[in-house]
Amino acid sequence: MPFQYQGNLESLAREVESSKDRVNSVYLNLLGKEKFTQLRDLSHRLLTPDCFFEDYGQIMRQMGYDGEEMNSGTGSSSCNFLTTFSQLSPNCKIDPSCGKTGVAFFVSEDSLKKGRSYQITGKQIAGYVHEFDHFVISSLQSHLLEMAHGVIGVYVGNVGNAQKLMEVVKRVGTGNHPVEDKEKVIALAGLACQYNLFCEQATRILDQNVLASLGINYDLPWRNKDPVYGRILVTPSPKMVLKILNDGDPFNGMTDTEAIDKMINWENFFQSPCDSIYSKNLLDSIKKTKTTLVPFRDYIKDIRKKSRKRR
């Protein structure tokens, strides 16, 4: 069955085991039989014990990073889709034949408690459900939208919310850089921020359904309210307008099933928040890139092989 945990936290393992039938019933109901079967097969193939980590640094070390790069941002749990890709081209396109994508979960007692889901519900299982629901939505995408977040993170850093986006806009906008470079960085940062906001909203809609089946109340005060977009004006050069989700529901008017489906089949729904060729090029090239999901151990073998070739 799709919902599972193969890490070393015994208390979480017991909770997942006792709740898996109810959770899987929700997935079947919301996703439909075809996608549920696809999710079941993906879970069986990808979620092996070696893809669950209690230390985020262990993930980074396996990928060849160390030092300051070994952190998880907020310290909360995460479901990480890790992709080997070629260099971003000057006009922000990626090679559609880029490498394999592995999945790694960072889950510890401490990281679960730092997540928003635990802070709202006080339940450990709620934090894990949220990360697993990220896996559900992203793994079912034909073209992995999380790839945009990963690519942009390499060049811009973590831009998960409007505050961090404003920091990038201020830093880059006032810097002594060519106009084209400024536009590129700001457009990519805006895209990463918008992606994170949309992805979180869709995931929390799925969370609410799953947690309800477990008797856990998970209120979404923004659900079914008109979306409100803030406008970030960048001047004088480059002159840009970023239209970023500020409040409300980007899935307003849709059923929960429709909202989740929109995020899975995002290609005709999710758009760049600004009129920049750079962010549009990145989205268009991802739409041409077929996702190849592999077990985490195979992903590590792939990046180590590529690293040896570059030496």
Contacts of 5 (CB under 8 A, 6+ apart): 12, 13, 16, 52, 107, 128, 132
| Residue-wise pLDDT tens digits, 150-178 | 788 777 877 878 888 888 888 887 777 77
Contacts of 4 (CB under 8 A, 6+ apart): 16, 20, 43, 47
The DSSP H or E segment spanning 79 is strand 78-83
Question: For all residues of the chain together, what is the average pLDDT?
Answer: 89
The arithmetic mean of pLDDT across residues 43-49, rounded, is 96
Supply φ then ψ for residue 176, to 5 degrees: -95, 75
Regarding pTM above 0.85, the answer is: yes
* CA–CA gap between residue 168 and residue 135 (Å, rounded): 28
- For residue 18, is pLDDT > 50? yes
Nearest Cα to Cα of residue 306 among 106, 49, 98 = 98
Structure-token pair, residue 162: 């409007």
Structure confidence at residue 66 (pLDDT): 66
Terminus-to-terminus CA distance in the chain, angstroms? Answer: 42
- For residue 3, is pLDDT > 70? yes
Nearest Cα to Cα of residue 85 among 158, 155, 165 = 155
- For residue 99, is pLDDT > 70? no
Structure confidence at residue 308 (pLDDT): 64
Is residue 285 within 8 Å of 96, Cβ to Cβ? yes
Buried b (16+ CB within 10 A) or exposed e, 130-154: bbbbbbbbbbbbebbbbbbbbbbee
- Provide the β-strand partners of residue 293: 101
pLDDT band at 73 (very low <50, low <70, confident <90, very high): low
Supply φ then ψ for residue 52, to 5 degrees: -110, 125
Q: What percent of the chain has pLDDT over 90?
A: 64
* CA–CA gap between residue 305 and residue 311 (Å, rounded): 10
